[in-house]
Amino acid sequence: MTRSHRRSGEFALIDWIRKRQSPSKRVRVGIGDDAAAIDVTKDSAAIISTDALIDGTHFDTGVHSPRLIGRKALACSLSDMAAMGCEPTVFVAAVALPRSATMGFCKDFCRGLEDMMGEFGVELIGGDVTTGDTPLVVTVTVLGRPKDRPPVKRGGARVGDTVMVTGTLGGSLRGKHLTFAPRVAEGLILNRDFRVRAMIDVSDGLAADLEHVAKESGVRIVLDAERIPISRAAKDAADGDAARGLRHALSDGEDFELAFTLSRTQAKRLEHLQPFDCGVAAIGEVVAGTGVRIRQTDGSLARLSHTGYEHGLSR
């Protein structure tokens, strides 16, 4: 299985597409966020998000059970809805099946979808099944709605905000990428009770995903190396090497935790209240500037690149 990080070419393509569109007034949130939002009536919006998962990239049919693959296919889209602080309601699933797929495989895959449906109260309302010379490619499109508060975009971070994250990070490929619980309830609570200003789910890796928040918000995000919650799996993968463990936490994809910014006052309240079983931690702050930086234990700032840290950057 390859790493499911998006590649720079994919981002470049999305940017190119986005620049060519002129969203109409009905589009409240358009291309370039975890989900889109459109007005359905004057007073109600529909939130929509779509995710394609490919065998060999996001799961491995040679290793993983069809039930877990089905579970993940829906969970990834629910995580996008969580990142908007909105409530998922229904979904459609389009499945491109290899000719070798058996009915038993397909049924178990559906049972995996149903596991998630039961847990999150979402309904399957339609889809498409088609067979071809293809690996299994599953595209789930979920619809949701705002509850209490408007959707939380990536672009709302303000200088002075605190950056926080749910759960622990890194090493997701050791198992969590298949079994994670999308933070839907947490996203709704963060939106309603803590007025989070920007939010994203960690799918490409914390540093890469926060780059989007920084860019969309026109700010810099500075993370404190010491405060990043490193998962057990990342520590195991790092074999006791703390710096490697941190790199896993910062750059591994598919944690599906929520990273978000909110006012310092709300952040303190959230840290104190700790309302989530998965935990929530302050990991940095929003300052003027661009990009994401890591404040290391010696106080210096570094940037995470694909191959590790890039030192010596301007502060």
Q: What residues from 9 to 38 belong to the interface with a copy of itself (CB under 8 A)?
A: 9-10, 12-14, 16-17, 20-21, 23-24, 26-27, 30-31, 33, 35-36, 38
- Measured from the CB atom, the residue of 103 and 288 that comes closer to a copy of itself is 103
CB of 315 to a copy of itself, least distance (A): 34
Quick check: 41 binds a copy of itself (CB under 8 A)? yes
Query: What HEC string does the chain produce?
Result: CCCCCCCHHHHHHHHHHHHHCCCCCCEEECCCCCCEEEEEECCEEEEEEEEEEEECCCECCCCCCHHHHHHHHHHHHHHHHHHCCCEEEEEEEEEEEECCCCHHHHHHHHHHHHHHHHHHCCEEEEEEEEEECCCCEEEEEEEEECECECCCCHHHCCCCCEEEEECCECCHHHCHHHHCCCCHHHHHHHHHHHCCCEEEECCCCHHHHHHHHHHHHCCEEEEEHHHCCECHHHHHHHCCCHHHHHHHHHHCCCCCCEEEEECHHHHHHHHHHCCCCCCEEEEEEEECCCEEEEECCCCCEEEEECCEEECCCCC
Among 40, 159, 243, 313, binds a copy of itself (CB under 8 A): 40
Helix axes 242-251, 206-217, angle to 10 degrees: 50
Quick check: 7 binds a copy of itself (CB under 8 A)? yes
Quick check: 43 binds a copy of itself (CB under 8 A)? yes
Quick check: 79 binds a copy of itself (CB under 8 A)? no
CB of 81 to a copy of itself, least distance (A): 12
**Separation between Cα atoms, residue 144 and residue 50, nearest integer Å:** 12
Residue type, 12: A
Phi, psi of 17 (to 5 degrees): -65, -45
- Measured from the CB atom, the residue of 33 and 285 that comes closer to a copy of itself is 33
- Measured from the CB atom, the residue of 86 and 93 that comes closer to a copy of itself is 93
Quick check: 173 binds a copy of itself (CB under 8 A)? no
CB of 117 to a copy of itself, least distance (A): 9
Q: What residues from 107 to 166 belong to the interface with a copy of itself (CB under 8 A)?
A: 107, 110, 114, 123-135, 137, 139, 141, 143, 145
> Among the candidate windows 4-12, 190-198, 210-218, 243-251, which touches a copy of itself by CB under 8 A?
4-12
CB of 241 to a copy of itself, least distance (A): 30
Q: Based on C-alpha coordinates, what's the Rg of the chain?
A: 19
Quick check: 306 binds a copy of itself (CB under 8 A)? no
Quick check: 100 binds a copy of itself (CB under 8 A)? no
CB of 87 to a copy of itself, least distance (A): 13
CB of 175 to a copy of itself, least distance (A): 21
Tokens describing residue 117: 């449906």
Where on the chain is the footprint of a copy of itself (CB under 8 A)? 2, 4, 6-7, 9-10, 12-14, 16-17, 20-21, 23-24, 26-27, 30-31, 33, 35-36, 38, 40-41, 43-44, 46, 48-58, 89-90, 92-97, 103, 106-107, 110, 114, 123-135, 137, 139, 141, 143, 145
